[in-house]
Structure 1
Amino acid sequence: MQINDRLLDVLRYELNKVGLRTTPPVLDEILLVVKDDKPVAYIQEDGYIIYSTLSSKEDALPIPTIVNQVWEMERAYQEAPHMHIGSVSKYRKLIEYNGIVLAARYDGDGQFTFASWQYMHDNNAVSFGHYFHKNYYSAAKADFLYRSGLADRSILFQLDELSIIRDTLLFRGMQDSALQFKEQENLDNLLHRVDSMLTLGNEPLLVAEIEMEQES
């Protein structure tokens, strides 16, 4: 997938949340991720990440999760058609199932807004909107899965259960000296995902019916 201006802006916005920034693309579209002017990682056009030997594990930990999500958001947005309903035509339809649609709108400044709606009137209107601002893509996908019936809310972990899982992962990462490099990398990625879920769990995820658009 080509690295375009929108992808770059979203990537910079997400990296900035964790204190990282990028330099402009150079050398066959390789992006340099830095912290305090020190190289942390190199990101290729296909999203492949090469870590700098000068970076700390703590600085590098969030990068794969951020890159995977940004590349997924951009790919989904590029391939999505515009919503056929005039009141929400600024959105692109990512997926629909069982009368529920998940859509995305790019707002500029590196930020997507995602929305899930229920179709009304022979799919010619939508209502009961749940909105996810500032690139909360994972939360939007989860909301779509539950609203459409593709997933059961009972499979969700509670926040206290996630905290236990996080502590267990941290303990193993610090104590298990037999971990191979790939195992350590997978553990770090999982730990960052759990941290993101815990952070997200403290945010107001659903903001219903607050957009200016007339949904029906």
Structure 2
Amino acid sequence: MVKDFFKELSRVLSKHDIETAPPERNALPILINGRSACHVEPSGYMCIFPGDIRSPEASELYHKVAPFSMEVREYLTAIERAPLLEAEALDEDFRLLAEFNGTVLAGRETEYGYMFVTWQRDYKGTGVEDGEYYLDGYAAAKADFAIRSGLVEKQRLFSDAQLLDIYQGINDTFDAGYDLTPTDQKNLIGIQSQIEGLLPDIREQIASLQRVNMEAAQEQSM
């Protein structure tokens, strides 16, 4: 399990341009410019070794990696412990992660990553239908399962785009210099921290959007 966890976490982090090194001392090194900034333990928790570099960039990377680490650990553990999904006419083996109110959440490893699916049980209850597929989309699959099963009302969930708008709106509020009370500031910072936990790369997304908007403005001015 530990070897699989480090391998999968390295794969996921590489998709977000985060560099890792082969495991050492039973932990996965997370790198900045080839140097170790922090480590991930087999439990999924972050740790700092005595030789890890300390800097604002290293601290930011530490907090950026943590949500990915915990999510990977969660779904690998869930898939390892889950029984096979029993359903007629399925061409591939899926693990049953959750089932409620006729809705199924299942997952399996593929050569391209981990696939998660939500299905509805058919009228006989022996098969599944109306699948929604999420490659490397564990969080999205869980949210879809919660909505389709009726565990959570759709109106209570925000999309990634909506969370991005909320985060940027808070930034704009701070930049505008409004006279906020300490309580207001604390609450807004807390909301941003929650969003960062859901979207670890949100700062990169905002920076990318700002570059696109700046380039568009420059083209219009020519």
The structural deviation recorded for 1:160 is 4.5
Deviations 1:69-121 (A, max 9, x none): 10111111111111112533511000000001000010035x10000111114
Tell me, yes or no, if structure 1 residue 4 matches structure 2 residue 3.
yes
Report the count of equivalent residues. 186
What is the CA–CA distance in structure 1 between the aligned matches of 2:115 and 2:198, rounded to whole Å?
A: 21
Tell me, yes or no, if structure 1 residue 36 matches structure 2 residue 33.
yes
CA contact (8 A) 1:64 1:189 kept: no
Task: Please identify which structure carries the higher helix content.
Answer: 2
Q: How does 1:123-134 map to 2 (within 5 A)?
A: 123-133=125-135
The structural deviation recorded for 1:10 is 1.8
Given the two structures, how large is their TM-score scaled by the length of structure 1?
0.73
What is the CA–CA distance in structure 2 between the aligned matches of 1:193 and 1:63, rounded to whole Å?
A: 12
Q: How does 1:1-216 map to 2 (within 5 A)?
A: 2-5=1-4, 7-27=5-25, 29-51=26-48, 52=52, 53-54=54-55, 56=57, 57-88=59-90, 89-108=92-111, 111-133=113-135, 135-157=136-158, 159-160=161-162, 162-168=164-170, 188=193, 190-194=195-199
Q: Structure 1 residues 160, 92: closer, same or farther in 2, change over 3 A? A: closer
The structural deviation recorded for 1:4 is 2.8
The structural deviation recorded for 1:163 is 1.6
What is the CA–CA distance in structure 2 between the aligned matches of 1:44 and 1:72, rounded to whole Å?
A: 14
Q: Structure 1 residues 17, 189: closer, same or farther in 2, change over 3 A? A: farther
Query: Quick one: which amino acid aligns to residue 43 of structure 2?
Result: D
The alignment's C-alpha RMSD in Å is: 3.1
- Runs of 5+ consecutive residues of structure 2 not aligned to the other structure: 183-188, 206-222
Q: Structure 1 residues 197, 124: closer, same or farther in 2, change over 3 A? A: farther
CA contact (8 A) 2:163 2:195 kept: no
Identity of aligned residues (%): 25
CA contact (8 A) 1:41 1:55 kept: no
- Runs of 5+ consecutive residues of structure 1 not aligned to the other structure: 179-183, 200-216
CA contact (8 A) 1:47 1:67 kept: yes
Instruction: Report the equivalent of 1:214.
Output: none
Q: Which has the larger radius of gyration?
A: 2
What is the CA–CA distance in structure 2 between the aligned matches of 1:165 and 1:55, rounded to whole Å?
A: 21
Q: Structure 1 residues 196, 32: closer, same or farther in 2, change over 3 A? A: closer
The structural deviation recorded for 1:147 is 0.4
CA contact (8 A) 2:95 2:108 kept: yes
Query: Quick one: which amino acid aligns to residue 106 of structure 1?
Result: E
The structural deviation recorded for 1:171 is 7.2
What is the CA–CA distance in structure 2 between the aligned matches of 1:171 and 1:40, rounded to whole Å?
A: 32
